[in-house]
Structure 1
Amino acid sequence: MKTSGLGELEAVLAVARRRSFRAAATELGVSTSALSHAVAALEARIGVRLFNRTTRSVSLSEAGAQFVDSVAPALSTIRDAIEQAGSFRDVPSGTLRINTSVGAAQRAMPIFIAYLQRYPDMTLDIVTEGRLIDIVVDGFDAGIRIAESVPQDMIAVPFGERQRFAVVGSPAYFAQQKPPHTPADLHAHRCIRSRMPSGAIYQWEFERRGEAVRIDGKGPLTLDEPSLMLAAARAGLGLTYLTEWNVAADLQAGTLVRVLEDWTPPLDGLCLYYPGRRHVPAGLRALIELIRESADLQRTQRVSRTRSAKKSA
């Protein structure tokens, strides 16, 4: 790792973002000792300690916080200038950092795979987490979330099919319990509850003919990961509330049964989003173009399926 100049500044910003020398070193692809030496060299040169270090934690000092606030925008401008110059290359290259959720990343994987196959000089750094973060402050080029979660000051590029939530349970569960016909019936059922990244329990949302209902179902299990909810539902522990994308394979295989389908209207789809107040890197522009190509192909396929269905009818 560089021991002066931009390398030291990148090191400080990475440690400030991650609050950990080890995590920052992993992000930058260097050893922890090299990163520590780079930060220490900068601190020695300016004569100020930028971080308070203990055996358990790393935090910015008051001087460090002011330093990061001043340096981060300038370094972002320098990166943009480098990326803008590099955009004149025929083939995009470099690293694209994207923040998203696990579920959104799984749905976007075909796009990511196609992107890396088309642009072998690009590297994707995908960070998945449930909480919604400020992608600019945390050093990401873009984010992927459902449309309603995208901050209003961001440019959003929709992609992927619209989804609905689905209430599902196992055949064994329904062998002992009558299927619910209205959301209110869920109060008589065991529900596998969902904890959101904020720690709050998610209330199941339903709507039909203008009537909107939220249900805080009770049950023996609270989880925060869809694959665990699926496993619990398959085992007959209760009903779960997940997107159609999560439960499609189980519904097709018959391991889960869907109920209350007429109470779950379509949701907004996913969006790639990015800040609009700066130059868009060539690698991000290429990903946006690929997403739009994919969306056009999906629209064509939907039209074709609709026409085929009408002919069959």
Structure 2
Amino acid sequence: MNTSGLGELEAVLAVARHRSFRAAATELGVSTSALSHAVAALESRIGVRLFNRTTRSVSLSEAGTQFVDSVAPALSTIRGAIERAGSFRDTVSGTLRINTSAGAATQAMPLFIAFLQRYPDVKLDIVTEGRLIDIVVEGFDAGIRLAETVPRDMIAVPFAEKLRFAVVASPAYFAQHKPPRTPVDLQAHRCIRVRMPSGSIYQWEFERHGEAMRIDAKGALTLDEPGLMMQAVRAGLGVGYLSEWNVAADLRAGTLVRVLEDWTPPLDGLCLYYPGRDHVPAALRALIETIREYADAQRARPSSKGRARGARRS
């Protein structure tokens, strides 16, 4: 690898992201030894240790934390300048790193496929995780999240339809338990509790005619993955709070029953977001244009109340 200048900085940021020399080397496509030498050379030149290393772990030192916080935005600017210079070529190329959630990535996959078919020289590196991160510090070009979770200092490009939650249970469950007529009635039901990426338990959110409320759902089972929640609800273990995107097929088939529909109004959908309007890489500009075309096509389609949509916790 290039062991001076930008190469050393890229090496430090990769190790900081992964907290692992081996994982960072895999991302950069170099040997662990070459990566270690690059980091050591930079540490030697600036005269401070950026990482605390043991045989089992790697962590940023205090100096390393400050260094990474300062260097990451600057390196992003430099990457943008390189990409802009490359944009004068006839072919859009390069690698885009995008951070998103698994649910949002599933929704966006048709868009990614169309983009790669249009721009075969571009590479997409999609990283899915539930937690919200600083995409600049973590070395991503863009993120995809729900509009309500996009940081205020980011530029957001909406592309997905509005979405809703659905409160559902199996017919067998409601045969034994009176269906709730208001969110408060859920207190008398067994609910499938939702654990957030932060570790906190999600409070189910409702709103009708300007009245909003949160319900601390009670139940014997707590899960953090929609697919597992669906299995539990289908098995009659309780009431679930999932996106319409997750439950649409079951509602059509009659294997699940929906309640409190008038308490779950539409919410803003997914957005691609990125830092600032300057230094936008050519490949990212191409993706933004593709997203806008996709959004225009979605708006032109006839609305369908039962169409699958994305998850709020994306």
| Deviation (angstroms), 1:150 | 0.8
Correspondences of 1:230-249 after superposition (within 5 Å): 230-249=230-249
Q: Distance in 1 between matches of 2:44 and 2:212?
A: 61
Residue 275 of structure 1 is matched in structure 2 by 275
Structure 2 unaligned residues grouped into runs of 5+: 306-314
Which one-letter code corresponds to 2:302 in the other structure? Answer: R
Residue 111 of structure 1 is matched in structure 2 by 111
Deviations 1:21-68 (A, max 9, x none): 122123223332332232233334555432110122112234434443
Which one-letter code corresponds to 2:82 in the other structure? Answer: I
| Deviation (angstroms), 1:98 | 0.8
Q: TM-score, normalised by structure 1?
A: 0.91
Q: TM-score, normalised by structure 2?
A: 0.91
SS of residue paired to 1:163: coil
| Deviation (angstroms), 1:286 | 0.7
Deviations 1:159-215 (A, max 9, x none): 111111000111221222121111111111100000112222111111112222211
Q: CA RMSD in A?
A: 1.9
Correspondences of 1:25-36 after superposition (within 5 Å): 25-36=25-36
Following superposition, which runs of at least 4 residues in structure 1 exceed 6 angstroms of deviation? none
Q: Distance in 2 between matches of 1:184 and 1:62?
A: 48
Correspondences of 1:1-313 after superposition (within 5 Å): 1-276=1-276, 278-302=278-302
Q: Distance in 2 between matches of 1:69 and 1:214?
A: 37
Structure 1 unaligned residues grouped into runs of 5+: 307-313
| Deviation (angstroms), 1:69 | 4.2
SS of residue paired to 2:301: helix
Aligned residues: 305
- Structure 1 residues 175 and 116: alpha-carbon distance in aligned structure 2, compared to 1, 3 A threshold: same
Q: Distance in 2 between matches of 1:70 and 1:260?
A: 49
Q: Distance in 2 between matches of 1:246 and 1:189?
A: 21
Work out which structure has the larger RCO, using CA pairs closer than 8 Å and 6 or more positions apart in sequence. Answer: 2
Q: Distance in 2 between matches of 1:293 and 1:101?
A: 23
Q: Distance in 1 between matches of 2:94 and 2:293?
A: 22
- Structure 1 residues 255-264 or 4-13, which shifts more? 4-13
| Deviation (angstroms), 1:277 | 5.0
SS of residue paired to 1:198: coil
Which one-letter code corresponds to 1:226 in the other structure? Answer: P
| Deviation (angstroms), 1:273 | 0.7
- Structure 1 residues 1-10 or 242-251, which shifts more? 1-10
Identity among equivalent positions (%) equals: 83
SS of residue paired to 2:168: strand
Q: Distance in 1 between matches of 2:114 and 2:124?
A: 12
- Structure 1 residues 72 and 182: alpha-carbon distance in aligned structure 2, compared to 1, 3 A threshold: closer
Q: Distance in 1 between matches of 2:210 and 2:47?
A: 64
Residue 310 of structure 1 is matched in structure 2 by none
- Structure 1 residues 7 and 242: alpha-carbon distance in aligned structure 2, compared to 1, 3 A threshold: same
- Structure 1 residues 251 and 68: alpha-carbon distance in aligned structure 2, compared to 1, 3 A threshold: same
Which one-letter code corresponds to 1:107 in the other structure? Answer: Q
| Deviation (angstroms), 1:230 | 0.7
Which one-letter code corresponds to 1:122 in the other structure? Answer: V
SS of residue paired to 1:302: coil
Q: Distance in 2 between matches of 1:291 and 1:2?
A: 35
Asked if the contact 2:155/2:273 (under 8 Å) is kept, the reply is yes
Q: Distance in 1 between matches of 2:226 and 2:180?
A: 22
- Structure 1 residues 174 and 111: alpha-carbon distance in aligned structure 2, compared to 1, 3 A threshold: same
Which one-letter code corresponds to 1:131 in the other structure? Answer: R
| Deviation (angstroms), 1:4 | 2.8
